[in-house]
Structure 1
Amino acid sequence: MQINITYERPEEGPASGPITVGWFRTTDKGGVLYDAPERLASRETNKGHAKSASRCPALINMESRYFVIKSPIDLTLGFTRDEKGVPRLVNRAGAGSAVRSSKLADMLTLVGEAEWRYPDRPTVQLKLPYVFIADEPVYLTQIAAFAHYRKTPLPGTIFGGRFPIDIWPRPLMWAFEWHEPEKDIVLKRGEPLFYVQFEGGAPDRPVSVVEAERTAELDAYCEHISGVVNYVNQTFSLFKAAEAARPKVLVTPRKRG
């Protein structure tokens, strides 16, 4: 469903400049675990030769449009069923885990079996505090970390998604469809979990991502639209109602110092 949105802006607004995307964490508790989003960049690559792929304008332009969300924890996760056949998650690290079991349970969810897309592919969700916002029409697309090489591939695929962050800001999560549940999921702190890409009105406009203040208006708006997925099946049908309640400004760059 396509919604046409008009915002009141000064004539010298960002129509021809960078698209400004704000981000914030939903909570400051444990915030040090969650690194700021980073622009995707090929590091320590050969740039000496004029024809090196690292100097290719198309590659540089592509990488500049993706931002990396990293894993906040080390995790080795297994899947099993109890004596009654009920699906269970297993923390393979046990007592040696860097994350206490009670805290891991707060972060990880095994989706109810009735909601799996396929009967033999469990779905796991890792809650994250990242929210992205914008003050002009911008869509966020969440995709797998395709440029990150894993010596041991993950035993499944992530759920991607695309939604407008100017009217529908919501916390992101890492949602994983476990194609081979007999194999463990291994995550390392600091490794990419997924990428996010931002699309505005003009494809040639660059994107600037800034940390945003959690203003009272922003918090109230996020609270207004939160949790509706538990009550309706098609949340996109609520975009018009969300737009009507939206404050004029969501992105207020955070001041440091």
Structure 2
Amino acid sequence: MKLSIEVSRDDAKPEQGPARVGWFLTEEKGAVLFDAPERVASRGASRAHAKSAARCPAVVQMESRYFMVRCPYDLHLGFGRDKDGKAVLINRAGTSSTIRGNKIAQVVTLVSEAEWRYADRPTIQLALPYCFIADEPIYLTQLAAFAHYRTDPLPGTIFGGRFPLHIWPRPLMWAFEWHQTGKDLVLRRGEPLFYVQFETHDPARAVQLVEAARTAELMGYMNELAAVTNYVNQTFSLFEAAERLRPAKLLSERIRD
């Protein structure tokens, strides 16, 4: 089914000019913790030489197509099992943690062991309020911050996903598979947490990221899609139904005073 698009800016067709993608937070509570997504760039790299890698068109093109989301929290976690053998997370920071102990469970969740992809790799999820939306067919891919060097490598891998953000706007989460359970997981506020990449029909088109307004139409549509993963296994099978419910226009740029 073809998505009907309402043109709202200078009567431009969706395929002309940059592809506009909106980002927003699902709620305003604690919004100051969450930085705006940033375009990936080699900051501080030398461009003095004409043949510098920092000036290579292929490198510049690649970097321009990834946007980075920074970690909003400081976390120092260990993995263990209680006296009954149940998998548990351990707050290694203890009383020195920047997050109150009774709030950590609201931020990070250890997925039920029956749902792990591999029996020896615990899965944790970091809840985040970041959402993306577009008014033309665009796919979002979430992936690791592969261009960021860590002096203390993560003891596992993150796994993201790919979905059509124009009909399936949903809060992203950071999902992590813990390969080395004997090694602690340390996340630092402000460090790159993950990247997002946007795919359009024309791979040569640039992407313009703007802050989106949380309009009544957008939030109402998201409410119609909310929590369906609790009731079906293959949410992609709902895309056609979601497209029928979708208002023609969901992306309105937020104008701050």
The two structures have a TM-score, normalised by structure 1, of 0.97
Deviation at 1:140? 0.2
Structure 1 residue aligned with 2:186: 186
Question: Does residue 1:33 correspond to 2:33, yes or no?
Answer: yes
Q: Which runs of 5+ in 1 are unaligned?
A: none
User: Pairwise mapping of residues 91-170 of structure 1 onto structure 2 (< 5 A)?
Assistant: 91-170=91-170
Structure 1 residue aligned with 2:68: 68
1:215 partner letter = T
Distance 1:109 1:51 in 2: 46
Distance 2:152 2:173 in 1: 22
Partner-residue secondary structure (3-state), 2:146: coil
Structure 2 residue aligned with 1:238: 238
Structure 2 residue aligned with 1:5: 3
Deviation at 1:6? 4.2
Structure 2 residue aligned with 1:84: 84
Deviation at 1:226? 1.0
Distance 1:51 1:94 in 2: 50
Q: Which runs of 5+ in 2 are unaligned?
A: none
Per-residue displacement from partner, 1:92-113 (whole Å, max 9, x unpaired)?
0000100011221101110000
Partner-residue secondary structure (3-state), 2:163: strand
Taking only the aligned residue pairs, the percentage that are identical comes to 63
2:118 partner letter = Y
The 10-residue stretch of structure 1 (181-190 or 4-13) with the greater mean CA deviation from structure 2: 4-13
Deviation at 1:126? 0.2
Query: Which stretches of structure 1, 4 residues or more, deviate above 6 A after TM superposition?
Result: none
8 Å contact 2:6–2:249 — kept in the other structure?
Answer: no
Structure 1 residue aligned with 2:175: 175
Distance 1:24 1:12 in 2: 23
Partner-residue secondary structure (3-state), 2:15: helix
Deviation at 1:152? 1.1
Distance 2:118 2:14 in 1: 44
8 Å contact 2:21–2:134 — kept in the other structure?
Answer: yes
Partner-residue secondary structure (3-state), 1:16: coil
User: Pairwise mapping of residues 207-226 of structure 1 onto structure 2 (< 5 A)?
Assistant: 207-226=207-226
Deviation at 1:4? 4.6
Per-residue displacement from partner, 1:11-39 (whole Å, max 9, x unpaired)?
63231210000010011111111100000
Partner-residue secondary structure (3-state), 1:15: coil
Distance 1:4 1:104 in 2: 43
The two structures have a TM-score, normalised by structure 2, of 0.97
Distance 2:221 2:100 in 1: 33
Per-residue displacement from partner, 1:200-257 (whole Å, max 9, x unpaired)?
1100000000001100110000010011011000000000110011011111000111
Partner-residue secondary structure (3-state), 2:121: coil
Distance 2:226 2:205 in 1: 30
2:203 partner letter = P
Partner-residue secondary structure (3-state), 1:157: strand
Structure 2 residue aligned with 1:55: 55
1:110 partner letter = L
Question: Does residue 1:197 correspond to 2:192, yes or no?
Answer: no
Superposed CA RMSD: 1.1
Alignment: residue pair count: 255
Deviation at 1:192? 0.6
Distance 2:12 2:114 in 1: 52
Distance 2:236 2:89 in 1: 32
Structure 2 residue aligned with 1:251: 251
Partner-residue secondary structure (3-state), 1:118: coil
